[in-house]
Structure 1
Amino acid sequence: MGKKNKWKPLTYTVEDTPLQENVTVEEEDVRQMLNLSYEVIEKTVAKLFSSSNLVDHPFFFIHANAYVLVGTKMFYPCEVAVLKFSLQKGVEDTYHTLINPGSLPVGFAHDAQAYGEVTHRVPYPPLKEAEPSLAKVLDEVQQFVWGGPKAVRECRRRSQFAGEEMCLPPLYTFYDKELFHYDFVNEAVAFDLMQKLTMSSDTPCRFLLHPLAKLLYELRRTTSGAPAASGSEWSSLRDAQEALQRDSFLYTPNIGCEFHERIDAPACCSLSLVKRWALTFSSHCSAPFQGPCPSVPGGAKQESPEASSTSGEAQQGRSEATCVSAPPRRRLPARALPALRQPYASIQDMKHNL
């Protein structure tokens, strides 16, 4: 078997250190871009902190669900959510939509239905309210991150005047292969969806996708100036990854989309996930602020970093009437498992942000 064209999924430790060597050029690019991405995040947070703009700077989290993976690289998306977060305000705004990707290739409808039943619960064939136009989804995402149609037009005008492509603000996402709602490697799903969205437009638009755990780690290190309020110090990126993996706000009520709340299955909802990430950020990165942590609009309760480690276990003891049952951890059929994907636009884009 030839190694040059053979995709082999990388095995990483929680420190993102490869446990086995890979021979493909693409995978080496992924490794290089991950390091560059870390450097971009470190410099971004340091610059914002030194200029006193960190507390109100907006960060954008993204999560996407997919029906199925066809081949090794093509996902068929079914849902996306983007969240605007700041340390000062917590969740500032959210965007969410179900997506109609069109007809699946012959033989994949059953895989989509089987996977959906144990994870995101978005049915196939798609619901009537699912958006069939990727160009419209891109336009809505652009309006969301840039602040409305006028801002999008102005950004487009400036880009055309400068002879450059538009570039969305950095997007951050996270995945944990051991959790039920990350059977699809979310970085790969989000990256593939953003590729489809940007390619659907007549106006070129670039994007950058960064690891959410690294952002959490850098914000925590920067804002933990008050040890009594910030809890125990984090010694490595692993602490941030474990905080996100813990998913302490899994059972927070009324933070999913209308569809998932209606069927009582918000655990895998993309909108619920990005809000839970924001709650995790607020609970671990609010030391410099006076008063309670920022929260999700609607009354989601915040927890201290110390309490968050046990909150998931405590909430599991609640009655079924007040808690959302988490689906079992089940794997996709072998042909539906994703290969390692490149979660960033390009090495050149990463270096441009340094």
Structure 2
Amino acid sequence: MPKKPPRNAFYFFMVDYREQQRKKGIHYENMAEVANAAGPVWRDAPPSTRTKFEDMAKKAKQKYNVPEMKYTSTGISLAEIEQREREAREAQEAELEDIKNLVTLNVVKGSIYTEDFYLMDVNFYCKAGTHYVIGESTVLRFNLKDGIKDNYHEIINPGSIPTGYAHDVKLGSQELGLEMPDETVPRSNYIQILATIIDYLKQQDSNSNILPPIFTMPDKVLPVQDFFLQMCSRAAEDESLFRIYKLDTLFYNLINSIKTRGNEGFPKESLALTQLKKDLFKYTPGLGCEHHEEADKSVECTLSKVKRLAFTILDSCCPIAGIDVVPGKHLPFDYDIQGILSIKEQKKGRLAASIAGLPGLSSSNSSVVNDSFNDSTLHTTAESNVVKKERRVHEPLRMPKTDFAQKVRLAPDLTESNFPKLTAGHGRGRGLSGSFGKLKLDK
């Protein structure tokens, strides 16, 4: 391998340009002077001239086994795409590790029930290019013991509508129950909103320079990240201070860290996301802000959304943790708390489905199930404790082995006397005998 990498096409063009100018009597002291003189000529060179020197550079790279750069149809190099995918994969692994460490640390400290978690949701009119036109945001704080503690809700006026996106903004405002952005008044103060959010996140530890992570649904990660990017760019703040993580990952690790029985929690992270997407409290009245309640769009309000997400997590975790549910904190005010708790106790007390007359066992105890079939004592005890159901017998619609030949009657013998003769007559159906006489068949 050479000490220096192979030259590019412009280098070979400069060498040729320097030689051509030398023949004309023009001399350059170094390659820097050649670059200054040859640069404008290279930019205006026709494609045929460029191709000549690009081929020379390509041959030089092949000579030294330098890999050729490959690009997609949109002009993006494959190496850049691979780097982005690698960075996204590393970021996802770091997020998962950070959430696990957060939950595990609080479990060890014994503060998992009092640790505050922050949920966030945003509503955006549309996506204009690479940025989202944000119209509303809410940050909510809760923990398992106290339930929902407080929230910071803000309806945002983004100001001027991006050129070409007026129709999209109009559709978004109708869908989300938001007013159209008012261009006649100054837009919302993003610097003030950012400062308020930072103070809100520091409530638990005001002396710490590390802000707690913010959790949101997977489809809102990019809009929330872009919202912080917009605010930080105006406030000259470092956006890397904010960690935006997926809520389903927190839900999965949180409920599995406090479970005490094998049938509690989620065996897979995807089940936590499914539970959040069910949105069991979606149509509960009174959860939204005053603006959305008056417009009958409470379901779309970000304040209502984060409350419903928190209620879903608390509704699943509190019975496992043995925490007394408080109306308005762990569940909405108008829910029958006693009825819900009694149902959950019944579910916790139920046994698994029985298999072959034996109490249901988990998959990890499959060897015990196999051994129990050889134990006559266990088999006898299981049969005495399990209530046997009557076996269902299928009754066919017709009796089997029925001889239908006995019920079939033989057809009677028929003669000519059973059929009337056709006679000639007027009108329709007089037969063919009357017509044969009119035909002159002998001629």
Counterpart residue identity of residue 223, structure 1: I
Name 2:306's counterpart in structure 1.
274
Matched, 1:218 2:253: yes
- Return closer, same or farther for 1:75/1:167 CA change in 2, 3 Å cut-off: farther
Q: Between Structure 1 and Structure 2, whose CA radius of gyration is higher?
A: 2
Contact 2:252 2:269 in 1 (8 A): yes
Contact 1:77 1:101 in 2 (8 A): yes
Whole-angstrom CA distance in 1 between matches of 2:334 and 2:186: 27
Whole-angstrom CA distance in 2 between matches of 1:116 and 1:129: 18
From 218, 223, 227, give the equivalent of 1:193. Answer: 227
| Superposition RMSD in Å | 3.0
Contact 1:84 1:93 in 2 (8 A): yes
Aligned residue for 2:224, secondary structure, equals helix
Matched, 1:172 2:242: no
Name 1:288's counterpart in structure 2.
321
Counterpart residue identity of residue 107, structure 1: G
Whole-angstrom CA distance in 2 between matches of 1:272 and 1:40: 28
Matched, 1:92 2:149: yes
Name 2:83's counterpart in structure 1.
25
Name 1:2's counterpart in structure 2.
72
Matched, 1:106 2:163: yes
- Return closer, same or farther for 1:74/1:289 CA change in 2, 3 Å cut-off: same
Question: Which digits, 9 at most, give the CA deviation of each residue in 1:157-204, with x for residues without a partner?
Answer: xxxxxxxxx5432100104xxxxxxxxx31111110011122222454
Contact 1:198 1:204 in 2 (8 A): yes
Whole-angstrom CA distance in 2 between matches of 1:277 and 1:300: 17
- How many angstroms does 1:99 deviate by? 0.9
Query: Structure 1-normalised TM-score?
Result: 0.67
Whole-angstrom CA distance in 2 between matches of 1:195 and 1:305: 47
Name 1:242's counterpart in structure 2.
274
- How many angstroms does 1:127 deviate by? 9.8
Whole-angstrom CA distance in 2 between matches of 1:306 and 1:201: 51
- Return closer, same or farther for 1:60/1:5 CA change in 2, 3 Å cut-off: farther
- Return closer, same or farther for 1:27/1:78 CA change in 2, 3 Å cut-off: farther
Whole-angstrom CA distance in 1 between matches of 2:152 and 2:114: 19
- Return closer, same or farther for 1:233/1:147 CA change in 2, 3 Å cut-off: closer
Name 2:394's counterpart in structure 1.
none
Name 2:131's counterpart in structure 1.
74
Contact 1:279 1:295 in 2 (8 A): no
Counterpart residue identity of residue 243, structure 1: Q
- Return closer, same or farther for 1:82/1:126 CA change in 2, 3 Å cut-off: farther
Aligned residue for 2:235, secondary structure, equals coil
Contact 2:251 2:272 in 1 (8 A): yes
Counterpart residue identity of residue 221, structure 1: N
User: Pairwise mapping of residues 1-354 of structure 1 onto structure 2 (< 5 A)?
Assistant: 2=72, 23-71=81-129, 73-118=130-175, 120-126=176-182, 132-147=188-203, 166-175=209-218, 185-204=219-238, 206-225=241-260, 232-286=264-318, 287-292=320-325, 295-296=328-329, 299=333, 301=335
- Return closer, same or farther for 1:216/1:280 CA change in 2, 3 Å cut-off: same
Whole-angstrom CA distance in 2 between matches of 1:278 and 1:207: 20
Whole-angstrom CA distance in 2 between matches of 1:38 and 1:233: 18
Counterpart residue identity of residue 264, structure 1: D
> Which structure shows the higher helix fraction?
2
- Return closer, same or farther for 1:128/1:293 CA change in 2, 3 Å cut-off: farther
Name 2:51's counterpart in structure 1.
none
Whole-angstrom CA distance in 1 between matches of 2:184 and 2:290: 14
Counterpart residue identity of residue 268, structure 1: E
Contact 2:158 2:181 in 1 (8 A): no
Query: Structure 2-normalised TM-score?
Result: 0.55
Q: How many residues align?
A: 266
> Which deviates the most, 293-302 or 87-96?
293-302
Whole-angstrom CA distance in 2 between matches of 1:169 and 1:277: 18
Contact 1:97 1:131 in 2 (8 A): no
Name 2:376's counterpart in structure 1.
none
Identity %: 24
> Which deviates the most, 30-39 or 212-221?
30-39
Name 1:158's counterpart in structure 2.
none
Question: Which digits, 9 at most, give the CA deviation of each residue in 1:26-67, with x for residues without a partner?
Answer: 343222211211111111101100110111111101111111
Counterpart residue identity of residue 50, structure 1: V
Aligned residue for 1:283, secondary structure, equals helix
The runs of 5 or more residues in structure 2 that have no matched partner are 1-70, 345-443
